[in-house]
Structure 1
Amino acid sequence: MSSINYNEKIPNNVNLSEDRTLQRALEQWQPNYINWWNDMGPDHSGNFDVYLRTAVSVDPQGWAQFGHVKMPDYRWGIFLNPGDAERKIHFGDHKGEKVWQDIPGEYRANLRRIIVTQGDTEPASVEQQRHLGLTAPSQYDLRNLFQINVEEGRHLWAMVYLLHKYFGRDGREEGEALLQRRSGQEDNPRILEAFNEETPDWLSFFMFTYFTDRDGKFQLCALAESSFDPLARTTKFMLTEEAHHMFVGESGISRVINRTCQVMNELKTDDPSKLRAAGVIDLQTIQRYLNFHFSVTIDLFGADESSNAATFYSTGLKGRYEEGKRMDDHSLKNDSYRILHASNGNLVEKEVPMLNALNEVLRDDYIKDSIGGIERWNKVIEKAGIPFRLSVPHKAFHRNIGALSGIKVSPAGQMISENEWQARKNEWLPTPEDRAFVASLMGRCVEPGKFANWIAPPVMGVNRQPVDFEYVRFN
């Protein structure tokens, strides 16, 4: 089960050839996927040989191999972690029963919705990032972008396999629709709003891969607890690939900060205008981008009170992050959780049933995890001897979903008037001038070992290769 059969048209470790109907359906979907990739995948990259990792096994000890591949020839496939015949449901109303290999009829609609929503984010991010290769700050970064793109494509395959295998005609139609929606398109946009935002520059890309791919990690971890065993096994393997995406974001921002701090010390200034004139991104602008991407991403967790979240948990479709490590009864019927709402001009906490607050529980877990990386960025600034700290804004800042939607709150967590918000929002969120300045730095730099002026080189290359390795061969 751990090895992957690359002799088939669709590489897989699910014995696809034993289900001819399913195999034919996926082989009919495959050319539509390639057409989507050619139309909406990375711009002008079809002929490049890219140093990519390809999954060859689901064994954590040796799951990938590296080599130069043309991206349209990348072997996208279907890979599930090995099954456990003894695995039991460990939360919700079915706790203690055997996990499901097929979907109970009464849960089909909800499970399909969960899989479609997750599946829709994967091609969306490829579409959001499709022009970034034209302004890559280095060949190393270009390769990392392309690696993320092909893996998001594979994650789409993972969800389409589940739709085709377990949802019949409905699933096949949903699989087609995943290739028809477009990020940012007015009449047929992607399902979740964050995946309709533009990713116009590499600072946005690094923020997206740090914050928004981290949302992906938390959603996948919650689905990896699912009582529907094929979904749990699929998402567990997706998490193996997702880790690299967050690394690209965290290390990318760290390198931007590192370069800015070098120039601050060389010029002995913290004046943003002087730093911009020197061609680096000032720390205040980095903070504004951080505020934007963090606030847009925490909206992805949904409303703070949600009957859907309660249903998904009670019926065993979606657990909590690290469900198995939690020391409670895993049914939560008598538990409560404190959430924020606005009352008389202040943010106050109120207690609600835990089951209805599970989106907020996942959001709070995410926020704790996000802060860890920001502290590592602050160590870079501290090491440079600069008295500045980055921070996440308050979770009520710039929210567009749930009870906090539309309330005006400062990054420090103070409720403010509409007038004060309008007067100060340019201190807190990227301005058109910020975005134009960052865009002005985005020139392509792809000679091996060379890096754009605004970003420091990485400490080491990919897969123990030197930093000046030829990661992309431009044929």
Structure 2
Amino acid sequence: MSINYSEKIPNNVNLSEDKTLQRALEHWQPNYLQWWQDMGPEGAMAHDVYLRTAINVTPDGWAHFGHVKMPDYRWGIFLAQPEESRKVNFGENKGMAAWQDVPGEHRANLRRIIVTQGDTEPASVEQQRHLGLTAPSQYDLRNLFQVNVEEGRHLWAMVYLLHKYFGRDGREEAEALLQRNSGDQDNPRILEAFNEETPDWLAFYMFTYFTDRDGKFQLAALSESGFDPLSRTCRFMLTEEAHHMFVGESGVARVLARTCEVMKQNGIEDPNDVERVRKLGVIDLPTLQRYLNFHFSVTIDLFGADQSSNAATFYSAGLKGRYEETKRDDDHLLKNNTYRILEVKDGALVEKEVPMLNSLNEVLRDDYIRDSIAGVSRWNRVMEKAGINFRLQAPHKAFNRHIGSFAGIRVSPEGRIISDAEWEANVRNWLPSEEDRAYVASLMGRVIEPGKFANWIAPPPVGINRQPIDFEYVRFS
């Protein structure tokens, strides 16, 4: 499963043996590179960046490090190793041989799944394109660029599937992936979370922790697909997604550590003494909570409506499974299974039992929430260790929702149905205000000297790939 870097498009799918596909992708490549120049990291195309590149897709070969200019990064098509005699493991086709081509009856649904996933990849690059201008350190700048180039490669992964398996429709969809832009009024990205701005580095850390974690769960569900090329594509993408979540979790932890350190040094015992904390040039803990509330709630909307006939169709057809589908102890058909979801009744949130097939979005959302909360607990240990009496908490899953049965319903972070008046009276305590964002933005001054860090964030405990903290992660031209 070595990757052929001698070809114009690096790959491990024997692209040179399919000349029609190779020509089509080589025709798409210049448009991609132009998109990267126009919408990729601003002002960074001449930098030499210490990036990780896959040599092969085995555990000992997918992470090779070296300095490279981002426009010269060798994006390509990498699929995980095939599983011999792989079967469809769920749905009405359970037990059949996994499909190596697209079943005709599932063509439209598979294309929709691939386009939606593919659209998220360039969107996050566009959302983050200005962040390099305010990086808190070379270490963080390098991590941003690593995330960016890998999101670009994940776009390549989806475009390969569209070109190879969906003919003219696939080629047109691949072109459209470069024509939509995050936040564009006329041609926005498909999912609303990918049209939100990522204006500062605290938002970036929250995004990579929460929203890239959605990517983990969506890719994991797609890696169970009976369509084997999609499964193999997503399985390799998951190896790269782990670093994105690490950037987010460790980034927030370092912000917390620095705030706690400054509070202790200056004898500040009350975390709600925001004015004193901000005068010291660090991010106060209540603002961190509000950023958490925003990014958590925006991300859980990405899982869709709590009841969905499309999710049921995708599962029954064998196209998209559950998280860790094969580890679950049931019949993997779910026709007689039920699941408890929330609804509003008599002014309160109550549980009701519904068919599990129709609530698979909610199953995946709940799996995601459990995983997210585990990381929040790790952040709380930073403050506990520092002796600061403050704990972050994920809000209730009905809070600040814009999709599904809770769209437009006012719910407090604790899960209480409230009036519009109560919402308006408290929203500044629950979600970042313009003043919060302006204060965080005021801290965003660029630090590029090796080993130096902005005042508002602590250094990491170790460098990338066992390099020292003051390693030259980015060489500026």
TM-score (normalised: structure 2): 0.99
Aligned to 1:257: 256
Q: Report how far residue 84 of structure 1 moved.
A: 1.9
Tell me by how many angstroms 1:234 deviates: 0.3
* Cα distance in 2 for residues equivalent to 1:143 and 1:327: 42
Amino acid at match of 2:86: R
The 3-state SS of whatever aligns with 1:442 is: coil
CA shift at 1:248, angstroms?
Answer: 0.1
Identity percentage over the alignment?
76
Deviation, structure 1 residue 83? 1.1
Could you report, residue by residue, the CA deviation over 1:393-451 in whole angstroms, capped at 9, with x for unpaired residues? 00000000101111101101111111000000111000000000000000000100000
Match of 2:291 in 1: 289
Question: What per-residue deviation string (whole Å, max 9, x for no partner) do you get for residues 137-184 of structure 1?
Answer: 000000000000000000000000000000000000000000000000
Structure 1 match to 2:449:
447
Runs of 4+ in 1 over 4 A off after TM superposition: none
Q: CA deviation at 1:73?
A: 0.2
List per-residue Cα deviations over 1:335-389 (Å, max 9, x = no partner): 0001111111111111110000000000000000001111010000000011111
- The residue that corresponds to 1:333 in the other structure is 335
- Mapping 1:71-220, distance limit 5 Å: 71-220=70-219
Aligned mate of 1:312, from 311, 314, 318: 314
- Residue matched to 2:435: 433
Give the Cα separation in 2 of the matches to 1:77 and 1:445.
32
* Alignment of 1:346 onto 2:345: no
Q: Given residue 342 of structure 2, which amino acid in structure 1 is its aligned partner?
A: L
Alpha-carbon separation, structure 1, partners of 2:369 and 2:347: 24
Q: 1:1-16 counterparts in 2 under 5 A?
A: 2-16=1-15
Determine helix, strand or coil for the equivalent of 1:403.
coil
Are positions 1:355 and 2:357 aligned together?
A: yes
Q: Report the alpha carbon displacement of residue 267 of structure 1 after superposing the two structures with TM.
A: 1.1
Task: Give the whole-Å Cα distance in 2 for the aligned partners of 1:268 and 1:407.
Answer: 41
2:314 maps to a residue whose letter is F
Between the aligned partners of 1:111 and 1:277, the Cα distance in structure 2 is: 53
Alpha-carbon distance in structure 1 between the residues aligned to 2:337 and 2:318: 17
TM-score by length of 1: 0.99
SS in 1 for 2:50: strand
SS at match of 1:100: coil
Unaligned runs of 5+ in 1: none
SS at match of 1:86: coil
Which one-letter code corresponds to 1:187 in the other structure?
D
CA RMSD in angstroms, aligned pairs only: 0.5
For 2:38 and 2:418, the matched residues in 1 are separated by 45
Structure 1 residue 465 displacement after superposition: 0.3
Quick one: distance in 2 between partners of 1:18 and 1:106? 28
SS at match of 1:6: coil
Instruction: Tell me the CA shift for residue 130 of structure 1.
Output: 0.1
Aligned to 2:139, the other structure's residue is in SS state helix
Structure 1 residue 85 displacement after superposition: 2.9
Deviation at 1:43, TM superposition (A): 0.2
- Counterpart of 2:465 in structure 1 is 463
1:313-334: CA deviation from partner (whole Å, max 9, x where unpaired): 0000000000011000000000
State the alpha-carbon separation in 2 of the partners of residues 111 and 243 from structure 1.
Answer: 25
**Per-residue displacement from partner, 1:259-286 (whole Å, max 9, x unpaired)?**
0000110111131111101000000000
Q: How many residues align?
A: 474
Q: Residue type of the partner of 1:96?
A: G
Amino acid paired to 2:267? K
The CA distance in 1 between the partners of 2:301 and 2:381, in whole Å, is 28
Distance in structure 2 (CA, Å) of the matches to 1:358 and 1:392: 22
Name the aligned partner's letter for residue 321 of structure 1. Y
Match of 2:63 in 1: 64
Alpha-carbon distance between aligned partners in 2 of 1:80 and 1:153, rounded to the nearest angstrom: 15
Following superposition, the deviation at residue 215 of structure 1 comes to 0.1
Q: Distance in 2 between matches of 1:64 and 1:388?
A: 38
Report which stretch shifted further, 211-220 or 401-410. 401-410
Which stretch has the larger CA shift, 375-384 or 266-275? 266-275
| 1:44 shift after superposition | 0.5
Structure 2 residue 230 is the aligned partner of structure 1 residue 231: yes
Distance 1:135 1:268 in 2: 30
**Partner residue, 1:33:** 32
Aligned equivalents of 2:22, 2:181: Cα separation in 1:
27
SS at match of 2:79: coil
Q: Report deviation, 1:61.
A: 2.1
